[in-house]
Amino acid sequence: MAITKLANGKYQHDYRVDGKRRYKRFRTKGEAQAHELQINTAKAGGTLVDTRKGGRIRFHDLHEEWIVRIEKVGARGMRPASPVTVAGYKRIYETHMRPHLEHRAIATITLTVINDWLKTFATDDARQRSYRQLGRMLEYAVGSGYLPANPARNATINNVPRPEPIREPAALTVSQLKALAEQAATGGRYWRTPHDAYGLLILFAGTTGLRWSEIAGLQVDALTLGAEPQVIARTALVSVDGHLQLRGTTKGRKPRGIPIPASVAELLKIHVDGMRPGSLVFTSPSGGELRSSNFARRTLHPAIARCQEVDPDFPSIVFHDLRRTAVTLWVSARSNIKAVQQIAGHSSAVTTLDVYAQLLADDVQASARAVDDLLNHALA
């Protein structure tokens, strides 16, 4: 690299990026030297890139390239993303990004452009999800040498806070869980068209903590209904672009064993009697695969409404709150944190503590009373 004085009195800085000659001209030698220092610093730090690449690549082309990477190694480069995750990324692009950014060269996506784009969103949730995806895409562009820096990672200027939750998560008591199961079994929206399996489904979800996709994809051979009943969560039924797919792995990508309360296991034993090993444990009344939207609209929400008619304190829940219910019951039963982690299906007990910290905090006084009982018994 060198700085030379030209015949017109200007100064030219010659340098190389990726083995290719580049040059830039300046009015003064001081400006040329400052640019030389900037290039040398970037080169030493491994951040020297040919920024002209970003001027030649459209945002749509970057999206296509990024999606291929996501399908192969995921957003963090550790493992392939699931079809559900990939479909979600594509949906965000088509809905929120493509109308505004499709034909832009990625080098022209500045802080101003990003902030103008963020103003187009109607909801905080969509804004936060889309901004997070844009940040990941532009971070990939930086790593690929298309951009020198990621303008969507500036937390000071274009910070997008996590939206406030629309509703607080809730958990049912044992009596509320039983009441909901009874109402679900009576036919839900189709009053007096009973389907006992739906009542069992509610009890099963509220005591094992399985996710909806895991319950919808649960097969008979995953159940062990002997002296120590348990379920092995290893399959999930997920919707990808409107089509249900039975996946061989759950969200955590590892099978996990979860104990089943004996009373629920007895009901399950009767329910699956005569079924083939690969059959789905829970289906619709017609024998079809379960869809979460149909179940919520036709069964769960009407059952909750009828419970609230009887009990005004009955909480307005979503299906995922049955998972929280299961964790609450296990915590109340003095289960250790590793057991609760196994039920929740978290990769680390730290995650369980973070997600259910309030439940554990609420149980502190009960734990203190239990310790006091032990002391009193020992001192008696």
Q: Where are the domains of the chain?
A: 2-48, 54-153, 174-362
Give the span between the Cα atoms of 44 and 301, in whole angstroms.
61
Digit-coded pLDDT (tens) for 229-283: 999 988 888 877 778 888 776 555 678 888 999 999 999 999 999 999 899 999 9
In whole angstroms, give the CA distance from residue 57 to residue 90: 19
Q: Which CATH number fits domain 54-153: 3.40.50.9100, 1.10.10.10, 3.40.50.1820, 1.10.150.130?
A: 1.10.150.130
189-234 pLDDT tens trace: 655 556 889 999 999 999 998 999 999 999 999 999 988 999 998 8
d(CA 258, CA 215) in angstroms, rounded, equals: 13
Superfamily (CATH H level) for 174-362 = Intergrase catalytic core (1.10.443.10)
Q: What is the pLDDT at residue 354? A: 66
- pLDDT 10s digit of each residue in the chain, 380 long? 688 889 999 998 988 876 778 888 899 999 988 888 888 887 776 666 666 666 789 999 999 999 999 988 887 777 788 888 888 999 999 999 999 999 999 989 988 899 899 999 988 889 989 999 999 999 999 888 888 888 887 655 556 666 666 677 888 999 999 999 999 998 666 555 568 899 999 999 999 989 999 999 999 999 999 889 999 988 888 877 778 888 776 555 678 888 999 999 999 999 999 999 899 999 988 889 999 999 999 999 999 999 999 999 999 999 999 988 888 888 777 667 777 777 777 767 666 666 665 555 555 666 666 676 767 776 65
Letter string b/e over residues 59-97, b meaning 16 or more CB atoms within 10 A of that residue's CB? bbebbebbbebbeeeebeeeeebbbbebbebeebbeebb
Global model pTM greater than 0.95: no
C-alpha–C-alpha distance, residues 304 and 47, integer Å: 57
- Cα–Cα distance between 161 and 116 in angstroms, integer? 16
